[in-house]
């Protein structure tokens, strides 16, 4: 037997809202317009995790959740990349002004949320000793100032033990000079990997790759050497 009050409620439910009625949807579950989503976790899961991994690591693209990466990447830099993407790579432009779907506020939430969720004190200490994430102007220009030649030597010293004598892959890691790979990654992407490593996949950062930390110039040189294997632009 249904209590009278509930019965009354059911009767008027079609005309008047009757909150709390069994089966009535929770207002919190109501459809949210995409531009109203303000939660970092939801924004990240919808827009980023497919490429950068659900935890900011172990995805096919740069581990943007790596604490060392986050200690090195300024929020303004993150905002610029999220809004404008990386030309010539799979990193999309998310800013509405660039044809994307995210508002400036959502981009700011993502940029600050990455650090809030995944940064660490330990990584910040290490980052204080690191070369800058972004190459100084004039750095890493293939063929510039003998960089490629120097980079070949740097490669032999710091990378060959895993990526093989000529970069085409070794026992511990794959090729980093394949044209198909290099055609999809920017010089900054190569620099980021050299500096931050791929801790998630077993590649140490610039500090722990070899017998001693890599010097800032050596990072630019080895990036130039890798980039020199790109197929020439048509
Ligand atoms: C379709 C795949 C894809 C999606 C989706 C994607 N990214 Fe990326 N992202 C990439 C790739 C590939 C790169 C490396 C580009 C390069 O070579 O420089 C990258 C680079 C970046 C970088 C710069 C890394 C560096 O070297 O400093 C940041 C920051 C970043 N993505 C954040 C995000 C965020 C935040 C989202 C979600 C809003 C997102 N990405 C969504 C593929 C993607
Ligand atoms: C201790 C082993 C080790 C050393 C040393 C090492 N790497 Fe790696 N590297 C890896 C592993 C593991 C990966 C993951 C992918 C794979 O297996 O090829 C990787 C991936 C990469 C990638 C591709 C990253 C991506 O996101 O797809 C680049 C570029 C790279 N390494 C550059 C370098 C450079 C430059 C050096 C030297 C300065 C170096 N590596 C030294 C183990 C190493």
The verdict on residue 1 lying in a domain is no
Same domain membership, residue 173 and residue 117? no
pLDDT classification of 25: cutoffs 50, 70, 90: confident
Are both 118 and 165 inside the same structural domain? Answer: no
Q: Which residues line ligand 2 (CB under 6 A)?
A: 158-159, 161-163, 172-174, 176, 190, 193-194, 198, 201-204, 209, 222
Does the residue 20 lie in any domain?
A: no
Q: How far is the CA of 57 from the centre of ligand 2 (A)?
A: 15
Residues 162 and 103 in one domain: no
d(CA 209, CA 94): 34
Q: Which CATH number characterizes residue 74's domain?
A: 1.10.760.10
* Together in a domain, 166 and 222: yes
Using CB atoms within 10 A of its CB, is residue 4 exposed (0-12), middle (13-18) or buried (19+)? exposed
Is 5 inside any structural domain? no
Long-range contacts of 139-143 (CB under 8 A, 24+ apart): 139/220, 140/187, 140/190, 140/191, 140/220, 140/223, 140/224, 140/227, 141/224, 142/224, 142/227, 142/228, 142/230, 143/224, 143/228
Last residue of a domain, one of 93, 127, 161: 127
154 plus 118 within the same structural domain:
no
Task: Looking at the structure, tell me whether residues 68 and 107 fall in a common domain.
Answer: yes
Each residue's pLDDT tens digit, 150-185:
999 999 999 999 999 999 999 999 999 999 999 999
Q: What is the distance in A from the centroid of ligand 1 to the CA of 128? A: 24
Flag whether 112 is in a domain.
yes
Give residue 146's pLDDT band: very low, low, confident or very high (50, 70, 90): confident
Which domain-ending residue is among 78, 94, 127?
127
Place of tokens 């990466």: 69
Ligand 2: which atom is nearest the Cα of residue 223?
35
Asked whether the predicted pLDDT for residue 11 surpasses 70, the reply is no
pLDDT greater at residue 29 or residue 95: 95
Whether residues 43 and 121 fall in one domain:
yes
Whole-structure pTM value: 0.89
* CB 78 less than 6 A from any atom of ligand 1: yes
Does residue 18 belong to any structural domain of this protein?
A: no
Task: Quickly state the pLDDT bin for 15 (edges 50, 70, 90).
Answer: very low
Q: Which domain holds residue 220?
A: 147-227
Q: Is 223 in the pocket of ligand 1 (CB under 6 A)?
A: no
Question: Is there a contact between 224 and 127 (Cβ–Cβ < 8 Å)?
Answer: no
Least confident interval from 16-25, 36-45, 219-228 = 16-25
Report the mean per-residue pLDDT for the chain: 89
- The total number of structural domains in the chain stands at 2
CA–CA separation, 166 and 13 (whole Å): 74
Provide mean pLDDT across the span 58-75.
97
CA distances from 99 to 37, 78, 86, 96, 180 (A): 18, 18, 14, 5, 27
pLDDT one-digit tens code per residue, 88-112: 999 999 999 999 999 999 999 999 9
Instruction: Report CA(12)–ligand 1 centroid distance (Å).
Output: 52
* 51 CB within 6 A, ligand 1: yes
Q: Which of 94, 127, 160 is the last residue of a domain?
A: 127
CA 21 to each of CA 4, 5, 11, 14, 217: distance values in angstroms, whole numbers, following the listed order: 13, 11, 12, 12, 68
């Amino acid at each position: 037997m249904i209590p009278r009050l509930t019965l009354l409620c059911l009767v008027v439910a079609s005309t008047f809202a009757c909150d709390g009625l069994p089966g009535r949807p929770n207002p919190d579950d109501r459809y949210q317009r995409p531009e109203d989503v303000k939660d970092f976790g939801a924004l990240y899961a919808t827009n980023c995790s497919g490429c950068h991994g659900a935890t900011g690591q172990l995805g096919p693209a740069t581990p943007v959740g790596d604490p060392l990466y986050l200690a090195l990447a300024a929020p303004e830099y993150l905002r610029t990349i999220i809004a404008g993407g990386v030309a010539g790579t799979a990193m999309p432009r998310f800013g509405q002004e660039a044809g994307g779907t995210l508002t400036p506020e959502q981009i700011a939430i993502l940029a600050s949320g990455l650090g809030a969720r995944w940064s660490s004190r330990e990584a910040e200490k290490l980052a204080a000793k690191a070369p800058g994430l972004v190459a100084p102007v004039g750095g890493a220009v293939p063929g510039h100032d003998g960089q490629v030649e120097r980079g070949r030597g740097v490669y032999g010293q710091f990378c060959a033990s895993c990526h093989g004598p000529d970069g085409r892959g070794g026992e511990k890691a794959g090729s980093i000079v394949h044209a198909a790979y290099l055609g999809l990654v920017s010089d900054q992407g190569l620099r980021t990997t050299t500096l931050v490593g791929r801790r998630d996949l077993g590649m140490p950062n610039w500090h722990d790759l070899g017998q001693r930390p890599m010097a800032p110039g050596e990072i630019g040189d080895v990036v130039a050497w890798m980039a020199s294997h790109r197929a020439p632009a048509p």
